[in-house]
């Protein structure tokens, strides 16, 4: 594969990077394995000094880190700045809390003593996507480095400068060589890394297809894995929702990162009583978005990450309409340089339409009318995905009841699905398995080792 920075705003190639040779890859693996043998024996305080410094560096140089995000994948600059701050917050969160999260758990056996210790696995391998070039790395690296593991990462081919910046961050913060390693490697080399006996665990954030390949490969070697895959999040609007506020959140939930978010609101399921008014306000708000240079504060609609992403989305819309879906608005490329697409709404989508099952990774909203709450829940659950979701209602108790009925990894009441360092993140069904962030995220790649003390004279 090719590691290439292409600015999706104007299509200009910024920089290209060579893949590692097999010899260079072997040296990186050996360095990481050697580093682990030292890093695993450091104290939490020693690790925290490095990890907290990495967070402080990001907090101090937000614009510097944000710039390559916008240039490489087109994220609005203010959103890129927000991602840098969020990533730094995640790193700092684990510097402060890891020791508490991994403290020995004292058990109360019927006799004697017992406790469960948390010990690191070893060298971990992460395969990470382009849509949040630092956040995805931070939530994998920070907890695992604090747990005593070391990490190697194959980042997406279109954000190589972000990948390099994040590796340099750890070295600047004082991490030893091999604690965090960026790998510019081919797909064949990815398989080699997964198979390598020095790799003890594998994490992937990406598509369902990539997840099946990577999880299957890891499984052949009986290696623990976590998968955060696609989503088709339901945004449920009940008849008692505050319409104006709900529409504002609908636009944010759909269009954050130009809709290129695993937990973007994708299926808007609105009870009949509010459906027409919601659709009218939603359409008006989307039509007001202004395409332009994502570095410009006046721009409210950025480009898609790549030309290929745009072409795929346009084809999905075309196929949906061919199967009977109604194009309420948009659906076309914007007539200007760069990978820009009109904000789009599709309605009247039937179960036989591929759009009913697919994930639309961009500025395309799927709109559904339902008669009542029960139909809304049934439709939300009629999906192979189960990452996030949200429900809007003035009755919070009702919202919590609906949230409990939706089969997904995360449900938000009166807010689109989102992420913070102290909330667990992950899904079920085709959206994957395992959790990142919070106290749960640091537990995935540690050995829960029982230490039992019994009397030598105790009966067998």
The CATH number of whichever domain residue 302 belongs to comes to 3.40.309.10
Q: What is the mean pLDDT of residues 328-337?
A: 98
Contacts of 253 (CB under 8 A, 6+ apart): 235, 264, 265, 390, 416, 417
190 in Cβ contact with 20 (< 8 Å): no
- pTM of the model as a whole: 0.98
Query: Quick check: is 26 catalytic?
Result: no
Please indicate, yes or no, whether residues 80 and 202 belong to a single structural domain of this protein. Answer: yes
Q: Is pLDDT of 460 > 90? A: no
pLDDT at 1 over 70: no
Kindly state whether residues 149 and 277 are assigned to the same domain. no
Please indicate, yes or no, whether residues 86 and 198 belong to a single structural domain of this protein: yes
| 460 within domain boundaries | no
CA distances from 285 to 243, 249, 312, 343 (A): 13, 11, 25, 10
Q: Output the CA–CA distances (angstroms, integers) from residue 410 to 237, 378, 396, 414, in the order listed.
A: 17, 17, 16, 13
Same domain, 263 and 335: yes
What's the confidence (pLDDT) of residue 458? 84
Claim to verify: residue 443 and residue 339 sit in the same structural domain: no
Range of the domain at 158: 3-229+431-451
Give the tens place of pLDDT for each residue, 54-73. 999 999 999 999 999 999 99
Percentage of residues in the chain with pLDDT exceeding 70?
A: 100
From the list 158, 262, 373, 444, the catalytic residue is 262
What's the mean per-residue pLDDT of the chain?
98
In the residue annotation, 228 being an active-site residue is answered as: yes
Residues 344 and 437 in one domain: no
Cα 360 to Cα 190: distance, rounded to the nearest angstrom: 27
207 and 279, same domain (yes or no)? no
| Catalytic residue of the set 83, 228, 342, 444 | 228
Q: What is the biggest distance separating any 2 CA atoms in the chain, rounded to whole angstroms? A: 83
Condensed to tens digits (0 to 9), the pLDDT of residues 374-428 reads 999 999 999 999 999 999 999 999 999 999 999 999 999 999 999 999 999 999 9
Residue at 458 is within a domain: no
- The stretch 230-256 carries a mean pLDDT of 98
User: Are 176 and 38 found together in one domain?
Assistant: yes
- pLDDT per residue over 433-459, tens digit each? 999 999 999 999 999 999 999 999 988
213 and 242 share a domain? no
Q: Same structural domain for residues 142 and 263?
A: no
- Count how many domains the chain has: 2
* Residue 423 within a domain: no
Check whether residue 79 and residue 138 sit in a common domain: yes
């Amino acid at each position: 594969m090719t590691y290439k920075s292409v600015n999706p705003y104007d299509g200009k190639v910024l920089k290209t990077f060579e893949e590692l040779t097999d010899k260079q890859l072997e040296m990186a693996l050996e360095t990481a394995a050697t580093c682990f043998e030292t890093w695993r024996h450091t104290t939490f305080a020693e690790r925290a000094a490095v990890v907290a410094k990495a967070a402080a560096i990001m907090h101090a140089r937000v614009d510097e880190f944000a710039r390559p995000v916008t240039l490489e994948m087109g994220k609005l600059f203010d959103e890129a700045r927000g991602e840098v701050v969020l990533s730094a917050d995640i790193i700092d969160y684990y510097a402060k809390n890891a020791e508490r999260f991994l403290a020995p758990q004292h058990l109360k056996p019927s006799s004697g003593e017992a406790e469960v210790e948390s010990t690191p696995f070893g060298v971990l391998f992460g395969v990470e996507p382009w849509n949040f070039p630092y956040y995805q790395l931070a939530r994998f690296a920070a907890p695992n480095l604090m747990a005593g593991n070391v990490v190697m990462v194959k980042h997406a081919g279109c954000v190589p400068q972000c990948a390099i910046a994040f590796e340099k961050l750890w070295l600047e913060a004082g991490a030893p060589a091999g604690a965090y390693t960026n790998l510019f490697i081919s797909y064949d080399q990815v398989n080699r890394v997964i198979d390598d006996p020095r790799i003890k665990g594998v994490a992937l954030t990406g598509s369902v297809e990539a997840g099946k390949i990577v999880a299957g490969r890891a499984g052949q070697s009986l290696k623990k894995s976590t998968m955060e895959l696609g989503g088709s999040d339901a945004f449920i609007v009940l008849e008692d929702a505050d319409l104006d506020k709900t529409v504002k959140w609908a636009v944010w939930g759909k269009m954050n990162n130009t809709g290129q978010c695993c937990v973007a609101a994708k299926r808007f399921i609105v009870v009949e009583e509010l459906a027409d008014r919601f659709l009218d306000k939603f359409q008006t708000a989307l039509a007001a978005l202004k395409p332009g240079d994502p570095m410009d504060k006046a721009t409210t609609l950025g480009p898609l990450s790549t030309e290929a992403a745009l072409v795929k989305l346009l084809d999905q819309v075309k196929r949906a309409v061919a199967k009977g879906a109604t194009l309420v608005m948009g659906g076309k490329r914007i007539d200007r340089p760069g990978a820009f697409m009109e904000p789009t709404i599709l309605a009247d989508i039937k179960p036989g339409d591929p759009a009913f099952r697919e994930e639309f990774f961009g500025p395309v909203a799927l709109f559904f009318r339902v008669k009542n709450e029960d139909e809304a829940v049934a439709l939300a659950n009629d999906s192979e995905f189960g990452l996030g979701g949200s429900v809007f209602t003035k009755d919070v108790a009702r919202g919590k009841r609906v949230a409990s009925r939706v089969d997904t990894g995360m449900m938000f009441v009166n807010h689109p699905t989102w992420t913070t360092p102290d909330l667990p993140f992950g899904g079920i069904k085709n959206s994957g398995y395992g959790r990142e962030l919070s106290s749960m995220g640091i537990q995935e790649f540690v050995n829960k080792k029982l230490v039992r003390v019994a009397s030598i004279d105790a009966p067998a």
